[in-house]
Amino acid sequence: MHNKSLACLSVAAALSSFTPGVAVAQQQENITNPEESVEKIAVVGIRGSVITAQELKRLGDTVKDVISADDIGALPDKSVTEALMRVPGVTIERFASSDDPNHFAAEGTGVVVRGLDRVRSEINGRDAFSASTGGGLSYQDIPGELLGYVEVVKNHTADLIAGGVAGTVNLVTRKPFDSAGFFASTTLEGSYGDHRGEWTPIGSAVVSNRWNSDIGEFGVLLSASSSDYKDRGDGLALGNYYERSATAREMPQFGNYGTELSQFPGETRYVPADANMRSADSERKRRGLATSLQFRNPSQTFEVTAEYLRSNASLTWDERVITLGEQGFNVNPNQIQVADDATFDENGFMTSGTLLMNYRSLAQSRWRYAEQLVEDSSVHFTFSPSDAWKLEFDYQHIESEYDVYDYTINNSFEHNDVFFDVRGDKTVVNFVGENLTSPLAPDPVSDMYLNSAMDKEDDTDAESDSYAFDATYQLEHKWIKSIQFGAYASSKEQIKRDSAWNWGEMADGSWNHYVNGGQATSYTGTADRPGHPELYELYSFHAGDFFGGGVLPKDQTILFARFADLHNWQNFHDTTKAGGYNNFVQLRDRNCVTISGTCEIDGAYLPSEISSSKETRREFYTQLNYDNFELAYPIRGNLGLRYVSWQVESTGATLFPEPIPGWDTAKQAMYTADQLAYQNWLNTEPLHVKGDKYSKVLPSFNLSVELDDERVVRFAASQNIFLPKFENFRYFRSITESHSEPRGPNGEPLPYENIGFDGISGNPRNIEPEEALSLDLTYEWYMSESNSLTASLFRKELKNIIRKRLYSEEITNELAGVTFPVNFQTDTNEGSGTIQGFELAYTQFFDQLPGIWSGLGVSLNYTYINQSDINDEVGFGTGSGGEDGRNRFRAFNNLPLPGYSDDTVNMTAMYEKHGISARIAYNWRSEYLLTRRDSNLFAPVMAEATGQLDLSVAYNLTDNVKIGLEATNLLDEIIKTKMIYNQAGQTTPGTQFKTDRRFGAYVSVKF
């Protein structure tokens, strides 16, 4: 007998007793006989969370997985991102950003579902929005304590807002009607990072109550959370490898005379240009507030829910790096030689030895602060004028701010020979140059000076308004259960102020090495030009502590710019400029040129660095819901259509290249008069661009077949889209000059050749959403209310994939009256392919075991993904070399989509008995492409396979008081990357990162 009423009542009981944070209204709607009396048995803890997730998955109207509130809190997953990695088919990113693999993030920063990062985010079923770079929600900024549960919807139904090609992640907050009456809880925790060596506080509280009055029932909920998270991350890395032979020609700007090593005449070897190390102290702060007010009339035909969610998150880090002072595309291999201790593998790649550096090196100090605020206000009305009709209206308003301050000062020095060894599991580095062995020695050893600085700022404001109307009409029909129809409209706006990476010289000397204190910002000096030791601080990478020990043969001590000066950026530059020994031109002091001749910089931003963009959406849908439980194999499902209309518009300007200084007559002589005139730093008048309207009808079909009381087969097919991000379509154009620098037979510089102009731009004119056909076939065996075995086959057929491409356009500089073709790099739609794979998931509690062993359980899942024809066969293209030829350097094609791992594994062992709840969980993913272009080395980067082991143990002292211990990264995992060296896909060692193991202790009290 297939008693769906009983099943729905069971899950509603489990949800309401298990946690106050899970809304059960949707499940209760499916109850066919609400008068039926069913005894509610409260199931809490780990088993309760499994029952909740399992039943929501089983009753879902398409393929989905669910994480309950207890799942989010039961493991030390202090953000939604961290919790999501436990879901089958979901992986997370652990780097600060995909194009910057040199900065590891202790917490997850991005979500990939079944190999795609095209994930749409919702809050309470409403489209989420923020001012961050992509305009989407940053899951890591949302405190898990504010949520009731999280849905990961992997296919689509017509009543869902369009946009999730990979899937839709719906964050459902707590509501007062979720609890039977008064409820309150608070949790206090201390978290300790063993590498950072500091404790940080975490706290959350929720208070909820509901009461009846003559006019109806009211409910109020207030939830707040606060968490600080400090960690330290250490990194060791090798730079790009370069061919060393008599016939090497990869770097033609340094001459076609070969790069052969003197010790290996007639042979081909491969040598890295650098070995570097870094250490960063970071701190993340999260503050969350959620309120919910509910009202329901006595007849329960009208209900209103008003909610407010506020999330404020910041991340700051202080980083010190010792590295080569050249980017990957601008390295002359002959400036790096090797000592006689060099060893090589069978393919000629250097594996250990000393690099003899004839390049300056940098001791880099960098401070970065990023903060995001999201305020989400909404009201939802439900009205049922009859038993057959249900009408819903929803309004949502979002305001968001995103601010970034990123400041760097480089201390330059010579004599930085370095030994490295990558033959073991850990990279070993030893700087043997005099500046690190005796950094305070007198001249000529201490040839240090602050030679350059860089500042970057971002100030983005965003706002969104959305409206939704949904109607459901219940039918008394053998097959057709109900008909739904509705509409959705939204308007999103973003004002983005995004500065250039503003790099410039600080000292007034040449770029040659230090001579007798000749640099104005040097540590030491002469009687005529005193040094400035007050600008420096001494820092040691301790051999016994850095990277956990075992990678530095001795302490590495060197002078860095002071972090106090980076934290007080404006005051530092005001003081040093007043003293006459700082030539750096800050963002706020840059020259600004317009066609009218007058120009005012808006804070740190030129007119061309400010853009305003808008996205307008209109969607309509109809959906038929069907079921028949009288069949031998009962079925249920839905069939629907959703119409989507999408259009964008953006206003921005063009920035022309920086002028060649008048004093540099030798450089000016290489250009024509028109080429010189074109480089005048002109900011054009803003231009408003409105894109073509895009429209699409998206069909969906879902079918669930009950083979018996325990087994379900499900089929889902739908078309969906993924909307371009604001960063894809905001209008801006930045033009730079490009040339090649030929060399004579002996390496002497010759006049520039191939002088032209390149640029980057947004694409509001004709960019379109990506499109996909999604197919799912699942077998779900629910052996009991908490035990299950499921298998899923999935396939996604993608087209209109958004990729970076080059195009050429004639651009006129109106101030100069000169026109040149410019090769722009922009986002556009090109390419198609498929992703297919399968998921296996198994959850089992071993109740049959005797005694205390009956509390054991396991949860296992595995995902395999394969892609076809989706690799980028073009790459960056060959139409433009870019500034300094960077676009052509190792611009390989046929690379996979970033973030895509073939294999993902989750293994969790659980125990719950006699008040003890414990979990130990391991997550592993195979290697994947991290980025097609590293921001410094300008080569593709792969992330190697990695895993993480976490643990939580809790004990219920009483029914209302629980204490617990948590541990993250128990295996002290080393995160590794590797560089793609050539088109054939050969790789070389990249970076190794190590961060904290975290330990926490908490107490939780419920009332």
Backbone phi, psi, residue 263, to 5° = -75, -15
Distance (Å) of CA 802 to CA 118, 156, 316, 724, 827: 11, 21, 31, 8, 6
Q: What is the pLDDT of residues 294-324, one digit of tens each?
A: 999 999 999 999 999 998 989 999 999 998 8
Under DSSP, the state recorded for 604 is T
**Among all chains, which residue has been given the structure tokens 């350097």?**
889
**Amino acid letter, 941:** V
The pLDDT value recorded for residue 941 is 92
State the average pLDDT over residues 36-63.
72
**Residue 776 reports pLDDT greater than 50:** yes
Mean pLDDT throughout 539-545?
A: 91
Q: How confident is the model at residue 25 (pLDDT cuts 50, 70, 90)?
A: very low
Select, from the ranges 17-21, 146-150, 953-957, the one with the highest average predicted confidence (pLDDT): 953-957
| Number of residues written out for the chain | 1007
The predicted pLDDT at position 23 comes to 38
Return the closest-CA partner of residue 671 out of 820, 878, 510, 809: 820
**How many angstroms from the chain centroid is the CA of residue 51?**
31
**In whole angstroms, what is the distance from residue 529 CA to residue 519 CA?**
8
Nearest 5°: the CA angle 864, 972, 859 is: 40
pLDDT exceeds 50 at position 516: no
Task: Dump pLDDT digits (tens) for 917-968.
Answer: 999 999 999 999 988 888 788 889 999 999 999 999 999 999 999 999 999 8
User: What pLDDT does residue 582 have?
Assistant: 81
Q: Which of 675, 676, 663, 687 is nearest to 595 (CA)?
A: 687
Q: Which helix (H) or strand (E) holds 87?
A: none
Residue 867 pLDDT class (50, 70, 90 cuts): confident
pLDDT value, residue 71: 55
Q: CA-CA distances (angstroms) from residue 1001 to 77, 190, 270, 917?
A: 14, 6, 50, 14
Q: Which of 36-50, 501-515, 968-982 has the highest mean pLDDT?
A: 968-982
Mention every residue, 6+ apart, whose C-beta is less than 8 A from residue 685: 594, 595, 653
User: pLDDT value at position 141?
Assistant: 60
**For residue 997, pLDDT beyond 80:** yes
Q: Using the predicted structure, report yes or no on whether residue 908 has a pLDDT greater than 70.
A: yes
Say yes or no to pLDDT of 742 above 60.
yes
Q: What percent of the chain has pLDDT over 90?
A: 54
Asked whether the predicted pLDDT for residue 798 surpasses 90, the reply is yes
pLDDT, residue 73, reads 54
Task: Give me the phi and psi of 932, to 5 degrees please.
Answer: -80, -15
pLDDT surpasses 60 at 46? yes
Two structure tokens written together for 458: 């971002």
Residue 823 exposed, middle or buried by CB count within 10 Å (0-12, 13-18, 19+): buried
Predicted confidence band at 421 (pLDDT cuts at 50, 70, 90)?
very high
Closest CA to 385 of 471, 283, 504: 471
Q: Read off the pLDDT of residues 670-681 as tens digits, 9 standing for 90 and up.
A: 999 999 999 999
Highest mean pLDDT among 177-191, 433-447, 630-644: 630-644
pLDDT in tens, 446-490: 567 888 899 999 999 999 999 999 999 999 888 999 999 999 999
User: In this predicted structure, what is the pLDDT of residue 673?
Assistant: 94
Average pLDDT of the segment spanning 95-103: 68
User: What are the pLDDT digits (tens) for 369-388?
Assistant: 999 999 999 999 999 999 99
User: Whole-number mean pLDDT of the chain?
Assistant: 85
Identify the band that residue 235 occupies on the pLDDT scale cut at 50, 70 and 90: very high
- Closest by Cα among 486, 482, 477 to 391: 486
Spatial CB neighbours of 146, under 8 Å, sequence gap ≥ 6:
173, 174, 223, 225, 288, 289, 290, 309, 311
Q: pLDDT-derived band of residue 263, with 50, 70 and 90 as boundaries? A: very high
CA–CA separation, 463 and 461 (whole Å)? 7
| Angstrom distance (rounded) from CA 978 to CA 985 | 11
pLDDT value at position 96? 67
Cβ atoms of 849 and 793 closer than 8 Å:
no
Q: What integer pLDDT is reported at residue 855 of this predicted model?
A: 93
Q: Which amino acid is at 930?
A: L
Q: What is the pLDDT of residue 558?
A: 86
SS3 per residue for 887-951: CCCCCCCCECCCCCCCEEEEEEEEEEECCEEEEEEEEEECCEEEECCCCCCCCCEEECCEEEEEE
pLDDT confidence of 79, banded at 50, 70, 90?
low
Is residue 357 helix, strand or coil?
Answer: strand
Q: Can you spell out the DSSP letters for 449-481? A: EEEEEEEEEEEEEEEEEEEEEEEEEE---SSEE
Report pLDDT for 628: 94
Q: Looking at residue 819, what is its pLDDT?
A: 96
Q: Which residues pair with 222 in a beta bridge?
A: 207, 291
CB 169 within 8 A of CB 152: yes
Can you state the angle between helices 4-18 and 45-58, rounded to 10 degrees? 140
% of the chain residues with pLDDT over 70: 86
Residue in 828, 993, 973, 801 with CA at minimum distance from that of residue 898: 801
Give the integer Cα–Cα distance in Å for 286 and 646: 34
| HSE, side-chain direction, 13 A CA sphere, residue 156 | 29
pLDDT at 883: 55
Domains of the chain: 4-239+274-325+360-1006 (2.40.170.20)
pLDDT band at 556 (very low <50, low <70, confident <90, very high): confident
The Cα-based distances of 192 to 392, 836, 997 in angstroms read 47, 41, 8
Given a cut of 80, whether residue 136 has pLDDT beyond it is no
Higher-confidence position of 128 and 367 = 367
pLDDT band with cut points at 50, 70 and 90 for residue 597: confident
Averaged pLDDT, 125-132: 86
pLDDT at position 842 is 96
Which bin fits 102, alpha (ψ -120 to 50), beta or left (φ > 0)? alpha
> What backbone phi and psi angles, to 5 degrees, belong to 249?
-135, 20
**CA torsion angle 843 848 853 855 (round to 10):** 50
Strands 961-968 and 998-1006: antiparallel
Residues 294 and 25: their CA atoms lie apart, in Å, by 13
Amino acid at 687: L
150-173 pLDDT, tens per residue?
Answer: 888 999 999 999 988 888 988 888
> ∠763-764-768 over CA atoms, to 5°?
90
Q: What confidence score (pLDDT) does residue 327 get? A: 80
Predicted confidence at residue 34, as pLDDT, reads 36
